[in-house]
Amino acid sequence: MASLRLHIWALMKHNLEEHILSPALEESSIKWIRHVSCSQIYENAILFFWLVILNSFLSGGQGNKTSLFANTFSNHSFVWKTTPFSVCFPKSIFFFFFSPQSSEDSNHNDESPQEEEGFMGMSPLLQAHHAMERMEEFVCKVWEGRWRVIPHDVLPDWLKDNDYLLHGHRPPMPSFRACFKSIFRIHTETGNIWTHLLGCVFFLCLGIFYMFRPNMSFVAPVQEKVVVGLFFLGAILCLSFSWLFHTVYCHSEGVSRLFSKLDYSGIALLIMGSFVPWLYYSFYCNPQPCFIYLIVICVLGIAAIIVSQWDMFATPQYRGVRAGVFLGLGLSGVIPTLHFVISEGLLKAATMGQIGWLALMACLYITGAALYAARIPERFFPGKCDIWFHSHQLFHVFVVAGAFVHFHGVSNLQEFRFTVGGGCTEEEGMQ
């Protein structure tokens, strides 16, 4: 008997290349193959290999008789009508696999018994496992090099997040490698990925530059580097989790759920980290309220992270809830801001306290969150903002801009705090 595994592999590869990779078939009746996900192909491939393995035992020792199982299965049409199985594996393949063994095959097999010993000596489970491993490897390679963007209506439910983005979506990817290679392709997530990837690199470089500044630039080098470093840490983690999530969330439902939780946790970390340097410098001469406010914001931030671990939190139905949770966390800073304005006076708060920059940062964050929650502008122009300038992309831009504005305000606050008129009085220094 000729090697069943080699026959399976050779014909499977031939038909996949012919029906998926052949440009000549792109305009044919099976043009919709570009919309078929790798998981669909793989599911049918698994079924196919199990049928072949089962048939090899059902038809074994029957001479030139074709397996009854093969004939029965080949007459069923539901497979060909409802799945991409018919495109990848035409019926002609089945008659090859399930056909009677020829005398030439028998002679060839007698001449090379060692070729069959490894595979045919395996148990049926091992044979199927080995065949499916090879199939998975090949399908992954095919899909990585040939996937195309698909419309919203053919996405699986777990990838449907915005009904107003009609075209340009990535299909479910078979591997992390394919997901990361998609960074350099144009699709609905391209802008989301690059806005926060470049923002992450920017804040990483800015943070390194700041942390390696000479100690003479600081009054309390260790404390100041720690508090500002926490802001940079929050910003870098937030942007890193974000671009990673938007890169790999099409991998699978489980991966999407995991990285979405990291993404939302990163937002909470950015908000928490942003409070630390501002509270430190604003209440530099009065550390007791600074300490209290830090505890409160940490408790609220941890609560937001815990809520974001709820599976339903990432669903489209809870888009408004997500925006509300993080807006509420950010707006909790209104209380210490009012405390600072009342205790220091509006003029001093506007100059030394850099309240203007803080207000601009809040406006950027609120605007971005509002666009995200309302899905503007794609709500008013469905299908026109699929790739560029949709709400999530604009939200990312506002987040990066808001984080930079906050750093600029904190830098000015540090400068004014330790210049003439910005230091602590003797009474404040004794507190």
On whether 390 is known to bind a ligand per the annotation, the reply is no
Q: Which domain holds residue 421?
A: 176-429
Is 169 in a helix, a strand, or coil? strand
C-alpha span between 66 and 46 (Å, rounded) = 22
- Residue spans of alpha helices (H) in 283-318: 287-308
Tokens of 159: 């990838």
In angstroms, the Cα distances linking 193 to 19, 240, 269 are: 32, 10, 19
* Weakest-pLDDT range from 108-122, 159-173, 280-294, 312-326: 108-122
Q: Write out pLDDT tens, residues 189-247.
A: 999 999 999 999 999 999 999 999 888 878 888 899 999 999 999 999 999 999 999 99
Residue 382: predicted pLDDT: 95
Clarify whether residues 202 and 320 are in a common domain.
yes
In-domain check, residue 163: no
Regarding whether 182 and 115 lie in a shared domain, the answer is: no
Domain identity same for 115 and 192: no
Cα angle 287, 364, 256 (rounded to 5 degrees) comes to 95
> Token pair of 177, please?
């490698």
Spatial distance between the Cα atoms of 92 and 97, rounded to a whole number of angstroms? 9
Residue 273 sits in the same domain as residue 398: yes
Same domain (yes/no): 197, 297: yes
Domain boundary among 146, 166, 190: 146
Check whether residue 122 and residue 184 sit in a common domain.
no
Residues 161, 189: contact at Cβ < 8 Å? no
Contact call for residues 172 and 250 (beta carbons, < 8 A): yes
Q: What is the pLDDT of residues 252-269, one digit of tens each?
A: 999 999 999 999 999 999
187/53 same-domain check: no
User: What pLDDT sits at residue 350?
Assistant: 80
DSSP E strands, 3-73: none
Is 246 marked as a binding-site residue?
Answer: yes
Based on the fold, state whether residues 127 and 275 are members of the same structural domain.
no
The answer on 98 and 186 residing in a single domain is no
When comparing pLDDT for 189 and 19, which is higher? 189
Q: Which pTM value belongs to this model?
A: 0.69
Q: Is there a domain that residue 168 lies in?
A: no
